[in-house]
Structure 1
Amino acid sequence: MTSATPPLRALWRHHRRYRPRFALAVLMTVLNTAADVAPELLLGVAIDIVVRGSDSFVGTVFGIEGRFEQLVVVAVVNALVWVVESLTDYAASVLWRGLAQAVQDELRTEAYTAVQAMDIGWHERTPSGQVLSVLSDDVNQLERFLDVGARTVLHTALTVVFVGIVFGATSWQVTVLAFLPVPVIAWGSIRFQRRLEPLYADVRSTAGEVAAVVAGNLGGVATIRAFTAEQRESARVARASREYRLANARAIRSSSAFVPLIRMAILAGFSATLLLGGWYTLQGRLEVGLFTVLVFMTQRLLWPLTDLGQTLDLYQRAMASTRRIFGLLELRPSAVEGSVALPSPPRGALELRGVRFGYDDGPDVLQGVDLVVPAGETHAVVGTTGAGKSSLLRLVLRFADPRAGSVLLDGRDVRELTWDSLRGAIGYVSQDAFLFHGTVRENIAYGRPDATDAQVEEAARAAEAHDFVAALPDGYATVVGERGQTLSGGQRQRLALARALLRDPALLVLDEATSAVDTETEAAIQRSLARVTATRTALVVAHRLSTVRDADRIWVLSAGRVAESGTHDELVARGGAYAGLWAVQTGEHAPSSP
C-alpha cells in the first residue's frame, strides 16, 4: 500500500483469495443479526395476543382464536429463531476468527520474508526490536480487530438497518425521533477516528521503541553487567516504557471521551421513543404490542452503539499496525536475484574487476580493487582495521553490490546468478560464529538439512570438532542454547566450520575465523583448513598473519586499495605494508619458509 491508500482497502486488495470466506462470514452475520432482533418482535406479538386476544396479529393471520394456542405458535417460532441465532452465531464466530487467524498468519510470514530478503546493511541500520514489534504485536493488533471489531461494526450496522425497517413500518414520527442520535453518533465516530489516527500511530511507534531497547539490552546483558550499567539501562527501559504509557494515555483519553457522547445520544433517542410512542398508545394510535416492540427496539438499536468506543479503539490500533505491516511488505532490497545458474560442478574461481563500493551516501570504502583467486588456490586478504576487508567479503557473498566494477564467480557476474547458485557454491565462516538454538547436529546440518548422520560426523571430524562433540552430555543431540552460548568460542568456530564444510562448497570464505580463539584452537582450525582447502578455492580474511603465511597469495588492502600482493616470503622481503604488519605482530621479520 502507498501512504495514501487506506489500510482496509490495502487489506482487501492484498487478500483477494479470502474474499469468499469474508462474504460467507458476512452472510452468517446478517442471518445472526436478523435472528438476534426477532425476539423483540415476538415479545411484542405475545403482548399483542394477551391484550387483543383473537383480534391479535397471530389470531388474524393464522385464524387461531385461543390465546394460549397463539402463544404456543409464538413459542415455537421463538425456539426456531433461537436455534437459527445460535447456529449462525457459531458459524459467524468460526468464520471471522478463522479469517483473522489466516490473515495474521499470512501477513506475519510475508512480512518476515520481506525483512529476511533485505540487504545486510538494512538489518544493521534497523533495530531488531522494532521489526519484532511489527511481526508480533502489530500483527496481533490487526488479528484482534478482525476477530472482534469487524464483526461488531457489521452487527451494529445491520441492527440499525433491521430496527429501522421495523420502526419505519410502524410510525414514521417515532422513527425520526428514535433515529435522531444516529447521525450524531456517526459524526462523532468520524471526528474521533480522525483525531485518534495520529495518536495511535504514535502508540505503535513508541511500542516499537520499547521493543528495540529491550531486545538490544537482552542481547547485551553481559556487557551491561560488566560495566555495572544495570541501573542506567533499567532507567532507559523505564523512559521508553513511560513514553509508550503516555502515548497510550493520550489515545485512551480521546477514545474514552467518545462513550459519554454516545450515551447522551442514546438517552435522547430512548426518551423520545418512550414519550412519543407512549403518547400515541394512550391516544389509541399505536397498539400496546407495537409500543412494547418500539421501546425494546430502541434499546436494541442504540445500546450496542456504546461499544463503538471500544471498537473504534480496536480499529485505530489495527489500522496503525496495518500501516506498519505494509511498510515492511513494501520493502525492496537493492540487490535483486539473478536468473543464471553456475555450471555444475562449480570451480570456485573468483575475480574482482575495478570494484568500487561504499555504504549509503558515504565515500568509497573500496576504490578500484582488482583481485584474482584461481580455482583450487587459497588466497588471503589482510590489512589494518578499516582497510575494506569485510566490505570485500560483502561483495563476494553479494550482501551488497558494487558501485562500479564487477565480482565474478567462475567467470559470471554474481549479479546474474540465482541465490541458490551463488551461495550454494560458497561456504561461509564469520568471525562471530552464529549458532541457532537447537542440537549440535541441527546446527552442523543447517545448510544441508538432508545430510545423514555419517556425513555430519565426517564434516565435524574435518573441522576437528568431533572429539569435543562426542564428549558433550548428549553428543550430537546436545542442545547448544541460543547463539550457542553453552559452548566456548573455539567450539562454536569449529562447528561453524563443520557447517560450511558439510555443504562441500567450491569456494570457502573465512572472515577472521581464528581471531577470537586461543592458540590451541587456532592450530586445530589451521590443520583443518590445510586439509579442506587442498581440494577447493579459499578466500581468507585474517588479522593474525600467522594464519595465512602459507596461502598461495596474500592481498594487502590499504585505504580501500590493493597496496601489494604476493606470497608471505615475497611480501616480507619487499619491506612494504605487509612486512610492517608482520613486524608489529611478531616483533621481527619473518624468516623465509623452507
Structure 2
Amino acid sequence: MSDVIAGPPRGGRRGDSPARKDPKDLAQLESHPVSLRRIGGLFRPHAGRLAVVAGLIVAASAVGLAMPFLTRRVIDEAIPRQDVPLLMLLVAGMLAVTVVGSVLGVVQTWLSTTVGQRVMHGLRTDVFVHLQRQSLDFFTRTRGGEVQSRLTHDIGAMQSVVTTAATSVASNVTTAVGTAVAMAALSWRLSLLSLVVLPPAIWLTRRVALMRRAVTARRQRALADLHGQVEESLSVSGVLLGKTMGTGPVLSDRFRAGSEGLLDLEVRAELAGRWRMATMSVIFAAIPALIYLAAGLPATSGGMTIGTLVAFTALQAGLFRPLMGVLDVGVQVTSSLALFSRIFEYLDLPVDIADPAQPVELDPAEVRGTVRFEGVSLTYPGAGRPALDQVDLTVPAGTRLALVGATGAGKTTLASLVGRLRDPSAGRVSIDGVDVRDLRLSTLAEIVGLVPQETYLLHASVRENLRYARPDATDAEIEEAARAAQVHDLVTSLPDGYDTLVGARGHRFSGGEKQRLAVARTLLRDPRVLVLDEATSALDTRTERQVQAALDVVSRGRTTITVAHRLSTVRDADLIAVLDGGRVVELGDHETLAAAGGRYAALLAASEERRPEPALAA
C-alpha cells in the first residue's frame, strides 16, 4: 500500500467502488493527501495498549466461538443421555463464555476509548494552539463556523472512528474468519450452501444501505442549513439586522421552506431504515429456513445431528453482520482518512507571525518606547496596490503621535505593525532599536497595548473581562484602570457591580461603554507603548471628551500612537503624520500643518464643513 492515501484517479469508471464513498471525502483527500506514517505516529506512544486491545479482540472472538460447540454437545449428548454432570459442566461453560466475553469487551472498550481520547486530546490541543498562532489574515478569510467545526465536530467524529470503527473492523474481521472456520468444521456441506446464499443476501442489504445513506446525507445537509439559519437569524446581531431591515417575514418563509424539506427527508430516511430492517429480517429468516431444508433432505444432510444443525444455524446468524462490517471497511477508512486530512490541513498551515528562533531578551519594565518605522511597505495578498509604501517615521519615547488621513490611507495598517498583528512586506519596525520580529510575542504583548476600533467583550462578568488582560490583577488595580477609562461609575451603578454579566458580545452595553471597558482592559496591563485604533470613534461628544482626558493622563510617560477618526482629538498631539496612498505626506504638529495649507489643512477644512450633529449617548 502506498504511504500516501489520496483520491481516485480522475479517469476512474463510475462503476468503481470509490463511487459509493462520499464525494466530499474523496475531494478532501485529493486536495490534502494523508500520510499513513503520520497517522501511525499519533498512535505510536500507545503501541502497548493497542497490542493489548488487539489481543483482547482476538480472545473475545475465540471465546465467543466456543458457544455453538457447547450447544451441540448439550443437544446431542447431555440431554439425550440424561447426563447431569456433563450437562452441568456444559451449562457452566456457557455461562463462563458469556462472562469472560463480557469482561473482555469491557476491558477492550476501556483501553480503546482511553487511547482514542488521549490521541484526540493531543490533536485538539495542537490544533487550538496552532490556530492561536495564525495571523489575522487567516481568520479574515476563514469562516468562524468552519474553525469551530474542525475543532469540535471533526475531532469528535475522529474519536468515534478511532475507538469504535477501528475496533469494529478488527473485531469483524476476526469474527468473520473464525466463524467461517468453525462453520466448515461443523459441516462443510452447509458451508458450501452458505457460499451460494450469502452473496445475493449481502448484495441486497448493501443496496438498501446505500439508499439509506444517500437519504441520510441529504437530511444532514438540510439539518445543517436549518441550523445555520437559526444561528444567523436568532443571534443578537441577526435579530437586530432582521428588525432594522424588515426581513422577518422573508426569514420566516425561508425557515418554513427549509423545515418542510427536512420533513420530507425525515420521512424518507425513516422509510429507508424500515426497508433495511425489513430486508435483513427476511434474510435472517430465509437463510436458516434454507439450512433446515438442506439438513432435512437425505441428499444433503450427510447424517447431520440436531445439535450440529442448531450450532451451525447460530454461527450462520452471527456471520452476516461481521461480513457486512468487513465490506464497509473501504467506506469507513475513506471517511476516517478524510477527517484526519481536515485536521492535518489546519496543522500544516504555515505560521506567518511566529516567535523568532533566537529572540532578543528585552525587559518590558526597562523599555523607553521609541518606535521607528524604517522603509516599511506592505501589500495585502491579491491587492492591486500596496497598503503602505516606503514609510519612514520615528516616534520618540513618550511622544503622542496621531495618524490621520482619508479612509484606506493606511493608518490602521501602520499602527497594527507595532504589535505585530501583521509583518511588513519590506522594511522594519523597531522599539528601542530592537526589531519587533526579534522579540517574543509574549514580550511584545507586554510592551505594546492595543485598543482596537471594534471592541470584543467576553460572555462573562465585567471583572473577568478586565482581568483577561492581566489574570493576576487585584480588584483595586481593576477599579483603578476603570476609573482612568471613565467607566468605574457606570460599572458600580449596575445591579451586581463588577460581577455583572456582560452578555453575548457585550450587547447589554452601548458602543461607548464597551469602548471604555476596552480602554480599561488595556490600561490594566500598563504598556509602555499604547496604540489607539480610533478608540473613541463610537463615543458621543461628551463621553469622548471624558475618555480623551483620561487617555491624556494615562499616555503621559508612554509612547502613544493614535489612529484618528475625528481631527478634533489630535490637536494636542506632539506629532501628526498625514497618510495618503500608504505614504507619509506630511509630518508636524497641529499648528504647523494647519498653517502649511497642505493635505492636513484640507482634511481639517472638510471636517469643519461637515459639522455633524453631536452623537447621543446610547
Q: Decide: shared fold, TM above 0.5.
A: yes
Which whole-Å CA distance do the structure 1 matches of 2:354 and 2:257 have between them? 40
Moved more, 279-288 or 67-76: 279-288
Question: In the alignment, does 2:311 pair up with 1:288?
Answer: no
Contact kept? 1:180, 1:269, Cα under 8 Å:
no
Q: CA deviation at 1:104?
A: 3.9
> Counterpart in 2 of 1:170?
186
Which whole-Å CA distance do the structure 1 matches of 2:404 and 2:471 have between them? 34
> Counterpart in 2 of 1:374?
396
Q: CA deviation at 1:73?
A: 0.8
Choose which of 482, 498, 502 in structure 2 pairs with 1:476: 498
Contact kept? 1:258, 1:309, Cα under 8 Å:
no
Q: CA deviation at 1:21?
A: 3.3
| 1:153 partner amino acid | V
Contact kept? 2:295, 2:301, Cα under 8 Å:
no
Mapping for residues 304-319 of structure 1, pairs under 5 Å: 304-305=322-323, 318-319=336-337
1:324-381: CA deviation from partner (whole Å, max 9, x where unpaired): 3333222223233324144212222212122221221212111111121112111111
1:139-164: CA deviation from partner (whole Å, max 9, x where unpaired): 33333344443333333222212212
> Counterpart in 2 of 1:493?
515
Q: What are structure 1's unaligned runs of at least 5 residues?
A: 54-65, 590-594
> Counterpart in 2 of 1:31?
59
Which whole-Å CA distance do the structure 2 matches of 1:568 and 1:241 have between them? 61
> Counterpart in 2 of 1:572?
594
Which whole-Å CA distance do the structure 2 matches of 1:17 and 1:577 have between them? 65
> Counterpart in 1 of 2:372?
351
| 2:362 partner amino acid | P
> Counterpart in 2 of 1:62?
none
Choose which of 114, 134, 151 in structure 2 pairs with 1:135: 151
Q: CA deviation at 1:86?
A: 2.1
Moved more, 118-127 or 89-98: 89-98
Q: CA deviation at 1:233?
A: 4.1
| 2:607 partner amino acid | Q
Contact kept? 1:395, 1:401, Cα under 8 Å:
yes
> Counterpart in 2 of 1:115?
131
Q: What are structure 2's unaligned runs of at least 5 residues?
A: 7-28, 612-618
Q: SS at the partner of 1:539?
A: strand
Contact kept? 1:341, 1:417, Cα under 8 Å:
yes
TM-aligned CA distance change 1:92 to 1:429, over 3 Å? same
Choose which of 157, 165, 171 in structure 2 pairs with 1:155: 171
Which whole-Å CA distance do the structure 2 matches of 1:330 and 1:242 have between them? 41
Which whole-Å CA distance do the structure 1 matches of 2:87 and 2:179 have between them? 23
Q: SS at the partner of 2:420?
A: coil
Contact kept? 1:134, 1:208, Cα under 8 Å:
no
Contact kept? 1:200, 1:320, Cα under 8 Å:
no
TM-aligned CA distance change 1:474 to 1:434, over 3 Å? same
Q: CA deviation at 1:298?
A: 0.8
Question: In the alignment, does 2:601 pair up with 1:553?
Answer: no
Q: SS at the partner of 2:577?
A: strand
Question: In the alignment, does 2:532 pair up with 1:510?
Answer: yes
Choose which of 409, 422, 439 in structure 1 pairs with 2:444: 422
TM-score (norm. length: structure 2): 0.81
| 2:139 partner amino acid | H
1:459-511: CA deviation from partner (whole Å, max 9, x where unpaired): 22222222222222222222111212222222211211111111111111110
Which whole-Å CA distance do the structure 2 matches of 1:89 and 1:403 have between them? 59
Choose which of 228, 235, 255 in structure 1 pairs with 2:246: 228
Which whole-Å CA distance do the structure 2 matches of 1:417 and 1:182 have between them? 68
Q: SS at the partner of 2:539?
A: coil
Which whole-Å CA distance do the structure 2 matches of 1:320 and 1:206 have between them? 21
Moved more, 150-159 or 271-280: 271-280
Q: CA deviation at 1:304?
A: 4.8
Which whole-Å CA distance do the structure 1 matches of 2:248 and 2:35 have between them? 41
| 1:39 partner amino acid | M
| 2:89 partner amino acid | V
TM-aligned CA distance change 1:581 to 1:235, over 3 Å? farther
Which whole-Å CA distance do the structure 2 matches of 1:243 and 1:86 have between them? 44
Contact kept? 1:181, 1:265, Cα under 8 Å:
no
> What percent identity do the matched residue pairs reach?
34
Question: In the alignment, does 2:403 pair up with 1:387?
Answer: no
| 1:223 partner amino acid | L
Choose which of 26, 40, 44 in structure 1 pairs with 2:68: 40
Which whole-Å CA distance do the structure 2 matches of 1:587 and 1:410 have between them? 41
TM-aligned CA distance change 1:377 to 1:125, over 3 Å? same
TM-aligned CA distance change 1:238 to 1:563, over 3 Å? farther
Q: SS at the partner of 2:51?
A: helix
Contact kept? 2:491, 2:498, Cα under 8 Å:
yes
Moved more, 155-164 or 267-276: 267-276
Q: CA RMSD in A?
A: 3.9
| 1:36 partner amino acid | G
Contact kept? 1:376, 1:537, Cα under 8 Å:
yes
> Counterpart in 1 of 2:557?
535
